[in-house]
Amino acid sequence: MDDNQRIDTLYEQGRKSMALSYLLWLVLGAFGAHRFYNGATRSAVIQLVLTLTGVGLVIVIPWLLIDLFLIPGLVNDKNREILDLLTSDPAPAAGAETAPPPQALPPREAELDSRRKAMLDDLRETGYRKPERARHPLLR
């Protein structure tokens, strides 16, 4: 089995289902089951505590209606996270040789590199964000 097949198999085993997320939302949504399933543990615990106190139902009911529209994003984010973990390079083992330090860039490339950094800093300050694209065909 080649590496891509192994990644595809592991991804299919670990990916989250949109249908199951909506089923959990419908049946146990007030207890945050759909959020637990998709890895949003903090908000799931908050929903659970608010539901169990009873008074928090005033907050949880509108939250559940909002979650109806947020579930696709939760599922896609979790699936993207799984795929990124599967396709990222493993961290070097402790005691393993590390890559040699980067060498100094030639003057022309150093100038271009500093321009790129300045442009990135400017983009970060202005808050410009490109829409995120799927990095793998399984995410479509």
Q: pTM to 2 decimals?
A: 0.60
The model's pLDDT over 35-86, given as tens digits with 9 standing for 90+, comes to 999 999 999 999 999 999 988 889 999 999 999 999 999 999 888 888 888 8
Helices 57-87 and 3-14, packing angle to 10 deg: 170
H/E stretch holding 20 reads helix 18-28
Measured CA distances, 111 to 105, 108, 115 (Å): 9, 5, 6
Of the two residues 1 and 74, the one the predictor is more confident about is: 74
How open is the CA angle 57-61-64, to the nearest 5 degrees? 130
Amino acid at 27: V
The region of weakest confidence among 7-16, 31-40, 127-136 is 127-136
CA–CA gap between residue 127 and residue 125 (Å, rounded): 5
Share of the chain above pLDDT 90, in %: 37
Judged against a pLDDT cut of 80, whether residue 99 lies above it is answered with no
Sequence-ordered list of residues with C-beta below 8 angstroms from that of 81, at least 6 positions apart, any chain:
39
Q: What's the pLDDT score for residue 138?
A: 62
CA–CA gap between residue 33 and residue 45 (Å, rounded): 9
